[in-house]
Amino acid sequence: MARGCLQGVKYLMFAFNLLFWLGGCGVLGVGIWLAATQGNFATLSSSFPSLSAANLLIVTGTFVMAIGFVGCIGALKENKCLLLTFFVLLLLVLLLETTIAVLFFAYTDKIDRYAQEDLKKGLHLYGTPGNVGLTNAWSIIQTDFRCCGVSNYTDWFEVYNATRVPDSCCLEFSDGCGLHAPGTWWKAPCYETVKAWLQENLLAVGVFGLCTALVQILGLTFAMTMYCQVVRADTYGA
């Protein structure tokens, strides 16, 4: 009976981790594609230039693949050490995510102030050599969200030392339109506009976070159940 239960949990655990590993492959693939085609796309921070969408996806995908691989091998081999390693790694990830979420909500105001200051520093790198990713990211954000600057379009005046903005701030795009009168530019601040967009989609973000947590809890349950079954089978087998 114990052996039958073990086999059932074994194949469920393997199927779960195979999907986990394939998901990691997908995330890694998207990250590599972004790095190859878009450079350091979405790098807006001057303090953390390596914090790009491509790098985050590559690191996340690699880590997920590694955890999924450990889980798959642990299930197939019924190896207690690998099953326990999988459980501990997944538990640490879950605890880290929970800690980050709690700290984010506890220090929202401080994070807001720091983020705006850092983004304003990053504006000075716009259009400079070696900062194609940051330049592209700002151009896309200002065009798609119809905004200009971090807290105001005047943020760009300090960057150019003149009354001008990037052409992506223009109501109607054309070469050199950023040199025209302020009446032809978007007035909305990008930080508040993107923040409002995120708040409008908070339900989707919350559902995604909840689903991620449930998948991780399911993985922890499978791992610990199979670990206990292996221990029980070894005990009775002995």
Residues 6+ apart with CB under 8 A from 232: 2, 6
The pLDDT value given to residue 45: 64
The pLDDT value given to residue 5: 64
Residue 182 located in a structural domain? no
Q: How many domains does one find in the chain? A: 1
The pLDDT value given to residue 133: 76
> What letter would DSSP give residue 179?
G
The pLDDT value given to residue 143: 92
How many whole angstroms separate alpha carbon 159 and alpha carbon 126? 8
Residue 4 located in a structural domain? no
Residue 64 located in a structural domain? yes
Residue 31 located in a structural domain? yes
The pLDDT value given to residue 223: 87
Residue 165 located in a structural domain? no
- The pLDDT averaged over each successive group of 10 residues in the chain (238 residues) is 64 84 87 71 62 79 90 87 92 91 89 89 86 83 93 92 92 88 91 90 85 87 86 69
State the residue range of the domain holding 128.
9-147+188-228
